[in-house]
Amino acid sequence: MNKIGELYDTLKNINDSKSCLYSIHKNLNYANSEITNLYDFLVDSFDFKQKKSILDCGCGVGFGTLLMAKKLNAKFTGISVSTTEIESARENLEQEKSLQNVNFECKSFDDLSAEKYDAIIAIESLKHSPELSKSLFSVLNSLKKGGEIYIIEDVLVKDTNSSAAQNLMKDWVLARLYSEKDYTEFSDEMEWSSIDLTPMMNKYSKLIVAAKIIGAEIKTGIDYLFNKKDSAAYIFRGGFYQEWLYLNGDLGYKLLIGKKT
């Protein structure tokens, strides 16, 4: 998991940069103008009021975890494989003096404790698992009977072995691109439904995305010539290739909702 931890360390550093803001989660066009992020979207769209314990898998620096903790009377646990992210999450928690219901831990999906949760949230994080079935087994095992998991992910909707797909997997440390079926066929104990969020995404022209890719290729090519590794440049390049895959209809942005029966 070291390479994945390094990836998230880099994402955290990018997000901290005042000169270069990188949106870790996608910015969607919400029907409710008061909603500005995916965590608000979940709280607004689904009933979390009866949930007493919630796990945020891939919590980053704790932004979404803390946002939900302010709105819900539940115990929250946020996890990340990045020590840098968890350190920042704990620092952010210290600024919220009134919150006594949040805990952040540095651990992977495959190394969860025996604690069971009423709800689990995983936003754009499970795709980084090198062995999805193992991670899903661990995560779903941490869900109480009757509990629900909310997975928001880029899912493969059309098989592709294109150079764009290969570069995305390389730059973002992905074992492969997972389909909706890869997430939902795993456990007989789960009842699944899905919502396609793709129509809510911002649309870009192929010309603009192609220009972004060319610029990123030039940047990484120059870095390679001078034996310089700029991890952020590869993350950006991977993001541009992902945009290309969306334009080609190879990827879809899905909310997968599973209830443990």
What gap in Å lies between CA 240 and CA 214, rounded to an integer?
Answer: 10
pLDDT at 6 over 50: yes
Residue 33, pLDDT score = 84
Q: What is the number of residues in the chain?
A: 261
Res. 15 pLDDT band, cuts 50 70 90: low
pTM: predicted TM-score of the whole model, two decimal places: 0.92
Residue 20, pLDDT score = 42
Residue 204, pLDDT score = 87
What gap in Å lies between CA 142 and CA 136, rounded to an integer?
Answer: 10
Which residue, chain included where needed, has tokens 């797909």?
A: 165
Tokens of 180: 């909706």
pLDDT at 72 over 90: yes
Residue 130, pLDDT score = 87
| Distant-in-sequence, close-in-space partners of 209: CB < 8 Å, separation ≥ 6 | 240, 243, 244, 247
- For 130-178, the three-class secondary structure string (H helix, E strand, C coil) is CCHHHHHHHHHHCEEEEEEEEEEEEEECCCCCCHHHHHHHHHCCCCCCC
pLDDT at 18 over 60: no
Res. 24 pLDDT band, cuts 50 70 90: low
pLDDT at 78 over 70: yes
Average pLDDT of span 134-158:
96
What gap in Å lies between CA 187 and CA 140, rounded to an integer?
Answer: 8
* Fold exhibited by the domain 2-156+173-201+249-260: Rossmann fold (3.40.50)
Residue 53 contacts residue 75 (beta carbons within 8 Å)? yes
Average pLDDT of span 147-151:
98
- 103-136 pLDDT, tens digit per residue, is 999 999 998 988 999 999 999 999 999 899 999 9
pLDDT at 184 over 60: yes
Map out the domains of the chain as residue ranges: 2-156+173-201+249-260
Average pLDDT of span 29-38:
90
- 155-171 pLDDT, tens digit per residue, is 999 989 999 999 999 99
Sheet of strand 75-80: strand arrangement: 102-106, 75-80, 53-57, 117-123, 143-156, 251-260, 190-196
In this predicted model, which residue has the larger pLDDT, 1 or 7?
Answer: 7
